[in-house]
Structure 1
């Protein structure tokens, strides 16, 4: 039989994912020992690993050609299925059949290969921290997006407002991205430009695997991967055989609209060994569960408005004109349409009864479309591979915030408490005494990104000891943010509330057509970088890895703002140039084929930027109070330094696999939003420092045939280490030493699956299994700046998010024709914790919150060949 337990802890550089080896029998005392060890690590274990990409990645072989250096991953013929890394030297045919049967009984996957170091390597031999999941594992966990993945990945959280993954607590709503998001080798993350910039969230369909790299990745992945990176790896065409994958998923809930998901993928040779294709398409319609009420009557006017529809298409061609040359053009298109936001009005709703309402007349619809063509070329010359990746991202994201609530919040700031309409916003939403009011907003974010990376890397060890990679990188990102706010009833409302015309109330500056406020910024990020990385085996088992990256980065922008809400027309332009250097060093020792220890240090960074002008007249009092003549025109890059200790181990004939690490990250010169309280304007500047320290653990165990246990544990303590002040005169405390960065302290997951032996029970000759998964995410660790009474951004109406407990149950059968049919229940206890909380202004009575999707039940069918 085969078995596994991998407990992974990680930090600093990247990470580990389990190698799922085969193993022989295990006597009961050893099983007891394995369970005892699992108990010693508090029962926490790790994520399952992904199978290697046969077509586009090399796969590690277990051969050794020299006494000091293992042979590198030998490339399989391009577009063919490479053999997985062997755990044991050789096996007889009968043993192989037994292992295959055991694998079927236990559900174990093949050996894990990842490319987090820019070359295919067995996960248990890479001294970095990375979690990886293939499509089968994602389906088993019910994961459709990265929000689902974070539930079982320690060190990973998610900001639903900006749709940004956060690695190891390095969260910032200002400046450039702290986490890199990659589709294959193309970065797609967005800069915090303008207002409400959101990242695109790729669907997890027809994925080779998803990798979560924890810790700074600046050496090999550049700016934006300051805290880590999330990589979506897609399958390449197969030159030798046809492969296919299909998924159909239908679910329903008594608390909302039904959901369905249908997708199919197919690929194979057009001309064997010369030309192949792969194409996939998916359609998902996710039902909503939030209803709209009329704020004047309280009657329901619409239901389940926060629906979410996604369409995805991907196609690729692999051409192999020569044995040592492959050319792979591909294209990806994704469209996501949302009917309304996932937030509800807290005072109007009853989460314990799954009743979620909003009474704003505004629907925050959104449309996110992106188109990503790319070209990969690989040419082998002797012991060297030349690799080129070229890509262009074309994205339009139309979204918005609730302009109606924003306007009423602003008007309420000036409304006398004796007014019959005070307050304009109550805990239950809009004051029902008000006449109909509607002030919609629209935000357009565009990305036009061109990237090119050219790498040269060794295919086998130089002098039987040295593996290396070097390359150049160019990126030209053009981004546009346009915010437009309508206030068509401004004159009517200012007369009603203040007995003034809109012109008198706003200072006389007119609207721009139908828009009361316009703010548009066009920006350009351009980077040129060179990088190199080398790994040398000093003595048998002892390796030293060193890398460095030099980047020249230019950022420039133009901006204009106009409209009555802006008080005047303002324009601005600016930019910044920087030349950061990001090194990394790792020392690892392979004690034996089952155990490795490592220590690493690395540096990460994110590019700086420039600020749009602050309205001088509106904000002059704030600037004077803080001893500033004007707001800063630009902000510099910030950086992190990360230290990590880790180990990866296999015990009891590979039934138990453990990988763990501790990390300490020092974050300096942090890009933060400075807040001017009187005029309500913010800008970005460099203030303060912080640390993030903790550990990540993952484990997997097969104690007996058919029983699989996987578990994870993570802890993060991310907090400021010094006071941060807005004012140059030491006034305007933004963050106090010891305040939390707002990320959860603890995360934990436990999954248990039992495959019932066929001789006991089966369905249509299929093997029946039962699986349950539990995930826990704690509330933020410590006091956040919004809850610190000494800070400028203190909000007595701000609520810390609550801890999350998520439980699923799945019963299914795996059939011999490669079909898998399962029935599941997600959010089994039907819990509704507060996942996010926000208000338009400090102290606002109206709280907008979000929660987990209410309990839903469904059936999932998958087929793969």
Structure 2
């Protein structure tokens, strides 16, 4: 069946340990500049490209968290889940009906703009390659590994002017290391760690940089392989362990980039990235069983392959910079989901029992309900995109009071989903009870072709989305310290869905095509005042936008009762775009010769016509509709200090209150979507504190000790107060590490989730089974890195 009950874990548990963060940060840590910076009295400044120019983040009129490779390591940031704990006001929820907390199945939200229905609310970029995909029920956000990454930029608030649709909550950019035209370099890394009650994790990688022609041509290539240990055991009905540590994850990465500078003013950079994530199962356990045990008839592995290619051309025209970015993105995501709790059970409920005048005996009904079933899903995404940008020279009061940027963007994305839901042994079970031929009195609508090869549902879905837009921003400097920004983007999007559904659980079947066109004009206004070179205050108002789309077919034969309850005779073919306006005031300051930095902001967001999923409980289908408005408001802060040389202290956090402002949602069939209801999957707050001390030992040897604590506040896993996942608790984790550098080698010992917090952070219900997800157990490990 095409849509499963909507379970929405806020934070996917992860078994990736400190090793992954160390792997991506090693190049930064070993560079002489980075080591000198660590020992200096000043706080490191991470240059960003949030506005598609290289800038100091303190001069940009928006809330930005820029996390360098070195910071990723010192704060033990290993993957997306860890990032949500240390960067303010970011959260995760599971993709609608994803079947569990598996990699590649979550959606990311910023500032409470949380919706697992419709288009994405946050843009995801790997370099200049857009990896943004829609919130379809079978997959979630693309999750690039933190491998050979220079920095991660988290841009909070709508970024529609420069990044287009789906960047309504914000944008996350993964910026890889570029080839170096001057220096030859080879770095390598190895790590091993042990998970409490689970299996061993390991990681190994190597990155090499080769200047092929001095100052003209360079090649950078890196490879990585990893194993994240598992901690969930599969058991049978009697509690016997069938398999240990089933949620292990293997992944491999390859990155290749070439930089060619044939002219002083021209740079051409082709690059390629490959990633394969092979998850053996998901991290869910049965709530009524002992901790870390899962009773399931069908295992739930997945294989997620990502490939990106990009050719970036930068041409300095003297009076302006011309940039061309040509990108290709491909994702192949194959999953198996345990469908026993709803496919087999749903089929058994359609049987006409002897008490109702039918032929099905209680024994037959129970036999069908107990059969194992799988949901086999094959996802394919491919996209071609092209962007041209022309940007003026940086501001120079002697030349002009204006700076500007303008561009064109085109993209063509195809998403294909093939689903098959076998109920293993269904034909043989009917035959064993003497029903080898069709019998409408036994199963209404049953015919001889209803279960070919035991398959109960077959769906073929083909989405296509084309976008084209023109965008630009202009800055006018009233004085060198005061300027205003006006920007806008005009976007046109066309989407189509061709679908074919068949077999018994598809009802009467369907073969249809729907299409929708959307347009949007998304302006942005900002005022920036550099009070002095160390202090900046700003205010912004910006519009965000999501494209509308087409719905999966809802069969009226099996969902008629649910549709009638919502005042419908059939599921809506399409849903419309939604939009928001965001208002933000902020300040960015540096004190004591950049030994203390304090960034803070407040925001207020009005979100209209929200795309929401409407779940039909009887037939377990979902369609998307526009229902309800919401307001999200809150603040963020980020403080860093270097009170003495070698010691870096940091504290960051955010608070968000995201609530519905009317009853439209519940009037359209979204249970619990009433005025005042908290938007699901959004923690009330998150905060993190950390400290790192670098010092010398044994004369000239460099050493460090570091530690950090992260807090995540409570949230609602559902709008429906009757849901088992309605109240999700807050929790905290703590990480510690210490290291020593000897010549070319860096040795590190670490512990992640040091106090072994095992809070159950969610407990969604799948049919009659209540599942749970815990914080990943404590991991202890050691690593060694080297540079040659």
Following the alignment from structure 1 to structure 2, what is the Cα–Cα distance between the partners of residues 564 and 307? 35
Q: Tell whether the 8 Å contact from 1:739 to 1:784 is kept in structure 2 after alignment.
A: no
SS for the counterpart of 2:557 is: helix
Q: Tell whether the 8 Å contact from 1:417 to 1:423 is kept in structure 2 after alignment.
A: no
Tell me the residue number matched to 1:377: 313
**Any idea what the Cα deviations from partners look like across 1:176-206, whole Å, max 9, x if unmatched?**
100111111111122123x322222111011
Q: Tell whether the 8 Å contact from 1:494 to 1:502 is kept in structure 2 after alignment.
A: no
SS for the counterpart of 1:619 is: helix
Question: Using a 3 Å threshold, how does the CA distance of structure 1 residues 412 and 711 change in structure 2: closer, same or farther?
Answer: farther
**Any idea what the Cα deviations from partners look like across 1:530-555, whole Å, max 9, x if unmatched?**
00011121123111011100011100
Following the alignment from structure 1 to structure 2, what is the Cα–Cα distance between the partners of residues 650 and 423? 70
Following the alignment from structure 2 to structure 1, what is the Cα–Cα distance between the partners of residues 434 and 346? 13
Q: Is 1:779 aligned to residue 706 of structure 2?
A: no
Q: CA deviation at 1:848?
A: 1.3
Following the alignment from structure 2 to structure 1, what is the Cα–Cα distance between the partners of residues 587 and 132? 31
Tell me the residue number matched to 1:365: 301
Tell me the residue number matched to 2:59: 125
**Structure 1 residue runs of 4 or more that deviate by more than 4 Å after TM superposition:** 106-110, 411-424, 433-436, 491-503, 730-734
Question: Using a 3 Å threshold, how does the CA distance of structure 1 residues 408 and 488 change in structure 2: closer, same or farther?
Answer: closer
Residue ranges of structure 2 left out of the alignment (5+ in a row): 1-23, 96-104, 356-360
Tell me the residue number matched to 2:15: none
Q: CA deviation at 1:746?
A: 1.0
**Any idea what the Cα deviations from partners look like across 1:618-672, whole Å, max 9, x if unmatched?**
2223333333232221111101100000001112232211010000111101111
Of 687, 695, 700, which aligns to 1:748? 687
**Any idea what the Cα deviations from partners look like across 1:846-865, whole Å, max 9, x if unmatched?**
21121222111001223457
SS for the counterpart of 1:410 is: helix
Q: CA deviation at 1:576?
A: 0.6
Q: CA deviation at 1:269?
A: 1.1
Following the alignment from structure 2 to structure 1, what is the Cα–Cα distance between the partners of residues 212 and 683? 50
Tell me the residue number matched to 1:280: 222
Q: CA deviation at 1:244?
A: 3.7
Tell me the residue number matched to 1:802: 729
Q: Tell whether the 8 Å contact from 1:491 to 1:502 is kept in structure 2 after alignment.
A: no
What are the within-5 Å matches in structure 2 for residues 823-862 of structure 1? 823-841=749-767, 844=768, 846-862=769-785
Q: Tell whether the 8 Å contact from 2:715 to 2:727 is kept in structure 1 after alignment.
A: yes
Question: Using a 3 Å threshold, how does the CA distance of structure 1 residues 406 and 501 change in structure 2: closer, same or farther?
Answer: farther
Following the alignment from structure 2 to structure 1, what is the Cα–Cα distance between the partners of residues 463 and 669? 31
Q: CA deviation at 1:705?
A: 2.7
Q: Is 1:112 aligned to residue 46 of structure 2?
A: yes
Q: In terms of mean alpha carbon deviation, does 364-373 or 565-574 score higher?
A: 565-574
Tell me the residue number matched to 1:28: none
Following the alignment from structure 1 to structure 2, what is the Cα–Cα distance between the partners of residues 316 and 323? 19
Question: Using a 3 Å threshold, how does the CA distance of structure 1 residues 491 and 166 change in structure 2: closer, same or farther?
Answer: same
Q: CA deviation at 1:687?
A: 0.8
Following the alignment from structure 1 to structure 2, what is the Cα–Cα distance between the partners of residues 417 and 206? 65
Of 208, 220, 226, which aligns to 2:168? 226
Tell me the residue number matched to 1:178: 121
Following the alignment from structure 2 to structure 1, what is the Cα–Cα distance between the partners of residues 669 and 720? 17
Tell me the residue number matched to 2:391: 457
Following the alignment from structure 1 to structure 2, what is the Cα–Cα distance between the partners of residues 498 and 464? 88
Q: CA deviation at 1:243?
A: 3.3
SS for the counterpart of 1:137 is: helix
Tell me the residue number matched to 1:22: none
**Any idea what the Cα deviations from partners look like across 1:285-323, whole Å, max 9, x if unmatched?**
11111111122x321111011110010001011111111
**Any idea what the Cα deviations from partners look like across 1:820-843, whole Å, max 9, x if unmatched?**
3210111111111123322223xx
**Any idea what the Cα deviations from partners look like across 1:385-429, whole Å, max 9, x if unmatched?**
1100001112110013211222344357579999998998xxxxx
Residue ranges of structure 1 left out of the alignment (5+ in a row): 1-49, 55-80, 85-99, 351-355, 425-432, 788-793
Tell me the residue number matched to 1:338: 279
Q: Tell whether the 8 Å contact from 2:274 to 2:308 is kept in structure 1 after alignment.
A: yes
Q: Tell whether the 8 Å contact from 2:43 to 2:595 is kept in structure 1 after alignment.
A: no
Following the alignment from structure 2 to structure 1, what is the Cα–Cα distance between the partners of residues 37 and 257? 32
Following the alignment from structure 2 to structure 1, what is the Cα–Cα distance between the partners of residues 475 and 669? 49
Following the alignment from structure 2 to structure 1, what is the Cα–Cα distance between the partners of residues 738 and 654? 28
Following the alignment from structure 2 to structure 1, what is the Cα–Cα distance between the partners of residues 378 and 493? 25
Q: CA deviation at 1:777?
A: 0.1
Following the alignment from structure 1 to structure 2, what is the Cα–Cα distance between the partners of residues 292 and 591? 61
**Any idea what the Cα deviations from partners look like across 1:734-769, whole Å, max 9, x if unmatched?**
5111111121001011101223x43xxx25842222
Following the alignment from structure 1 to structure 2, what is the Cα–Cα distance between the partners of residues 804 and 420? 45
Q: Tell whether the 8 Å contact from 2:390 to 2:407 is kept in structure 1 after alignment.
A: yes
Following the alignment from structure 1 to structure 2, what is the Cα–Cα distance between the partners of residues 461 and 499? 81
Q: In terms of mean alpha carbon deviation, does 397-406 or 361-370 score higher?
A: 397-406
TM-score when scaled to structure 1? Answer: 0.81
Question: Using a 3 Å threshold, how does the CA distance of structure 1 residues 786 and 496 change in structure 2: closer, same or farther?
Answer: farther
What are the within-5 Å matches in structure 2 for residues 752-767 of structure 1? 752-755=691-694, 757-758=695-696, 762-763=697-698, 765-767=700-702
Tell me the residue number matched to 2:101: none
Question: Using a 3 Å threshold, how does the CA distance of structure 1 residues 412 and 143 change in structure 2: closer, same or farther?
Answer: farther
**Any idea what the Cα deviations from partners look like across 1:540-586, whole Å, max 9, x if unmatched?**
31110111000111001100111111222211111111110111010
SS for the counterpart of 2:457 is: strand
Of 232, 244, 247, which aligns to 1:303? 244
Q: Tell whether the 8 Å contact from 1:181 to 1:187 is kept in structure 2 after alignment.
A: yes
**Any idea what the Cα deviations from partners look like across 1:458-510, whole Å, max 9, x if unmatched?**
12337332211100000000001122110122245568999998863353141
Q: Is 1:490 aligned to residue 426 of structure 2?
A: yes
Q: Is 1:476 aligned to residue 409 of structure 2?
A: no
Please tell me the root mean square deviation across aligned C-alpha atoms, in Å.
Answer: 2.9
SS for the counterpart of 2:72 is: helix
Q: Tell whether the 8 Å contact from 2:297 to 2:338 is kept in structure 1 after alignment.
A: no
Tell me the residue number matched to 1:814: 741
Q: Is 1:167 aligned to residue 103 of structure 2?
A: no
Tell me the residue number matched to 2:443: 505
Following the alignment from structure 2 to structure 1, what is the Cα–Cα distance between the partners of residues 711 and 596? 23
Q: CA deviation at 1:814?
A: 3.4
Q: Tell whether the 8 Å contact from 1:573 to 1:612 is kept in structure 2 after alignment.
A: no
Following the alignment from structure 1 to structure 2, what is the Cα–Cα distance between the partners of residues 814 and 366? 39
Q: CA deviation at 1:707?
A: 2.1
Question: Using a 3 Å threshold, how does the CA distance of structure 1 residues 437 and 233 change in structure 2: closer, same or farther?
Answer: same
Tell me the residue number matched to 1:661: 601
Question: Using a 3 Å threshold, how does the CA distance of structure 1 residues 514 and 498 change in structure 2: closer, same or farther?
Answer: closer
